[in-house]
A and B are shown apart, each in its own frame.
Chain A
């Protein structure tokens, strides 16, 4: 019985692979309907399923496969030419086969689904094709196949490379006895197929199937071997035995190579998941009456198997999105002066130890104004915040949960559907998603993911005498507070410790307390040293207080046993260089445990915006800078888009104004020193400090001498005879500071009209 099960399992694996291949072949076939090797490959896949299915007693499966085979053999024999109707029938046939196979996998039987309509559709085409055989197309005088060439092999070899001649003249089976001897042609056709299968067999025998569990086991053992090797190598420093040293050296080399080799066995080309996309795109495009061509580049880029599994759904989602919402209908494209056929291109490549995947379309792009409006409507951001948003920030709004539904309902620029889920899934495996879009030109989604999940960089910390690993992905920065003064800067809000990190309140979480570990450093009084690991959990930042920060290391992630699965604060465990086990912290789990991320994610942005809005009355965050000799000035940080350092030689002139090319815009530059009639302290600097403000999608840059600090402070503005461009003075950091009047500066330089003008599309 077991043996039988094995056979069925083998059959299922093989058939599923065959069907995957079919999906691709069919779509390919639509483009090159005369490709004989494609037809041969399709025929073979269906034939195998029919044959093996029959032997194993899956009669229904065999019956459905049989009609498919008959149709394919007609096509192979040129009695039936490919048209969308035929393709659709074939695809639905494949779906039927797939359904039965998965039913066999689950229940062991074909299931009681009724596939007679599929069979009927195919049969009707088959009956119809009797006429087709006599149609002028097929009955065209069949010319001799490249005279003098070895029949079969010659023709076959030419097949894939050169475009086929019109259907009628390559194979004469459709019109027997016209110009070729009856027997030669069928022989040739089967020759070609025979050759194909020979090639296939050769390929098949050079690979074997291996259970992933076995690979994991081997990988584990290699990891252990690496540790043992390290211990041996350590021992070499204490001995002078040359034979031993030589052996140790050899062991070292072999171990390294073995490790690399084993890692490779787990790698799979990304093409394994891309293969399904042509079919997905075809179906979807047909469904919404669009024309879409899919280009794939870098399908052989390899990734760890677990990662391949993890990105499958997000990628499919993005591809669907691009076709559904990104690419416009043919009419719209015509109006926009684009080719009717939309292009969707997938690109994958290795870069800097990471895998980059880009999904781009040449569709309508994302209308950021619209996205912003939607976000404001949903209360995710305030209109004030929206107006200050940079283009990039606005684009990233599409990743917010909740925005999706609104966009889908209106179905205009779309692209919102479940993007938050895509982002979450990619980030879960330590990846990043970024979106770039030009209105009217298209959208590109860039994904960066690590090569493997098994090995990740991590920060090792000690707390309560135990070591813990913190995945580097969540790590933002390290803060070390030393001495009584610094430690006194940790404040308390009703028992919740906070630290002011550059003016923002950073909630602190004590790892010892969260994990119930003994407090090691604090002996009654306050500790002399506090180590804060600033971490990102969802959209929140928090500081994790640990006893000691050790080092960063590449660690091998291992799962915890079932007994410990319930502990949300650990993501797994790893083995350290000394052979001891260390636990890997699950940052999100800890944040949730400490109630740092109790609220929903979308609140983060709202609150941030609300904070900006509210605080204008009392507290605000100020960017301090100097202009001229020691003249301190301030501007609200919330209105600042970016701080840039621009080489002087990039500054160009437009009319009287200085400008610089910035993010595909021309950004006017204003020298605050000139504006205030003050000599700049840094006349001959090679680079200038520029504070970039964004308004309505345009940028304006203020050149200042030096950026000093960012403070959060309540100020009282005093106005007494300020020059233009200064709205008042205040005491910030015990110094008199002029506060910049941004509106006045913009208005005064005549930029206002330019900036408030509606932009382009």
Chain B
């Protein structure tokens, strides 16, 4: 008997990611964002979440992926962190899935770059692979690149 966990899933540049459901505060549609000059490039902007100002982090930029196409509007996955809510900008929202711990495997060593730090492991689902995102690291952008 293996235990099961629930994950909130989403897509970023074709990859299928998951975040533990209890870490997600809410999922909201695209919101108008206010850009923050001089901030690291991974900061997409600030959104107004019912009176609370939340920093949105663009996961494509965070994962050093290609830019989102012009017309596409990202969705916000608002996660709870020790320092308040932070929004992750993703391409598309998936379902909440329940996966067995037994399907978990460490990320392969061939995974290089930023992904190596941010992906905690892989759940082998039937149809595809679910990448487990380390949210704490994803929002820790102290070391992230500054705009040139």
Contact = CB atoms under 8 A, between A and B. Distances in A.
Interface of A: 220-221, 223-224, 227, 464, 466, 515-517, 558-564, 566-567, 569-570, 573, 575, 579-583
Interface in B76-109: 83-84, 86
Contacts of B35: 466
A573 B51 contact: no
B65 interface: no
Contact of B48 (A517, A567, A570, A575): A575
B53 interface: yes
Contacts of B38: 515-516, 567, 569
A410 to B, nearest CB: 47
Given A516-B38, A517-B37, 6 more contacts: A466-B37, A516-B37, A560-B55, A561-B53, A562-B84, A567-B38
A580 B141 contact: no
Nearest to B139: A563
A575 B53 contact: yes
A638 B142 CA distance: 50
Given A561-B84, A564-B36, A567-B39, A224 B47 contact: no
B34 A466 contact: yes
B86 A561 contact: yes
A561 B52 CA distance: 10
B50 interface: yes
Given A563-B141, A573-B46, A581-B47, A558 B37 contact: no
A575 B51 contact: yes
B27 to A, nearest CB: 19
Interface in B104-148: 139, 141-142, 147
A574 to B, nearest CB: 8
Contacts of A560: 46, 53, 55
B32 A580 contact: yes
Nearest to A515: B37
Contacts of A569: 37-38
17 contacts: A221-B50, A224-B51, A466-B35, A559-B53, A561-B53, A561-B83, A561-B86, A563-B55, A563-B139, A564-B43, A566-B142, A567-B38, A570-B36, A575-B48, A581-B34, A581-B45, A581-B46
B141 A220 contact: no
A562 B86 CA distance: 10
B34 A558 contact: no
B54 interface: yes
A581 B86 contact: no
A579 B32 CA distance: 9
Given A564-B43, A581-B46, A583-B34, A220 B52 contact: yes
Nearest to A517: B37
B8 interface: no
A49 to B, nearest CB: 35
A580 B83 contact: no
Contacts of A581: 33-34, 45-48, 53
Contacts of B45: 581
Nearest to B32: A580
A583 B46 CA distance: 9
A418 B86 CA distance: 40
A517 B36 CA distance: 10
A515 to B, nearest CB: 4
A440 to B, nearest CB: 54
Contacts of A579: 32, 48
Contact of A221 (B33, B39, B51, B86): B51
A559 B53 CA distance: 8
B53 A558 contact: yes
B57 interface: yes
Contacts of B34: 466, 573, 580-583
Contacts of A220: 50-52
Contacts of B46: 560, 573, 581, 583
Nearest to A468: B37
Nearest to B86: A561
B48 to A, nearest CB: 5
Nearest to A572: B53
Nearest to A227: B51
A567 B50 contact: no
A566 B84 CA distance: 17
B60 to A, nearest CB: 17
B129 to A, nearest CB: 29
For the complex of A and B, the 5 pairs showing the least CB-CB separation, nearest first, are A224-B51, A515-B37, A561-B55, A581-B34, A562-B83
Contacts of B36: 564, 567, 570, 583
A464 B34 CA distance: 12
Contacts of A466: 34-35, 37
Contact of B86 (A516, A563, A580): A563
A217 to B, nearest CB: 9
Nearest to B46: A581
B42 to A, nearest CB: 9
Contacts of A564: 36, 39, 43, 55
Nearest to A216: B52
A567 B35 CA distance: 13
A569 B36 CA distance: 11
Contacts of B55: 560-561, 563-564
A224 B53 CA distance: 11
A563 B84 CA distance: 11
B144 to A, nearest CB: 9
A153 to B, nearest CB: 53
A581 B34 CA distance: 6
A230 to B, nearest CB: 13
B14 to A, nearest CB: 26
A464 B36 CA distance: 12
B57 A573 contact: no
A582 to B, nearest CB: 6
Contacts of A570: 36
Contacts of A223: 51
A464 B55 CA distance: 20
A563 B51 contact: no
Nearest to B141: A563
A558 B39 CA distance: 18
A569 B39 CA distance: 10
A440 B48 CA distance: 57
Nearest to A558: B53
Contacts of B37: 464, 466, 515-517, 569, 583
Contacts of B57: 563
Contacts of B142: 566
A2 to B, nearest CB: 19
Which of A223, A558, A561, A569 has most B Cβ within 10 Å? A561
A335 B39 CA distance: 65
B30 to A, nearest CB: 14
Contacts of A221: 50-51
Which of B38, B45, B86, B147 has most A Cβ within 10 Å? B38
B46 to A, nearest CB: 4
Nearest to A573: B53
A466 B46 CA distance: 12
Nearest to B140: A563
B52 A558 contact: yes
A83 to B, nearest CB: 54
B81 to A, nearest CB: 8
A560 to B, nearest CB: 7
A200 B78 CA distance: 46
Which of B37, B52, B86 has most A Cβ within 10 Å? B37
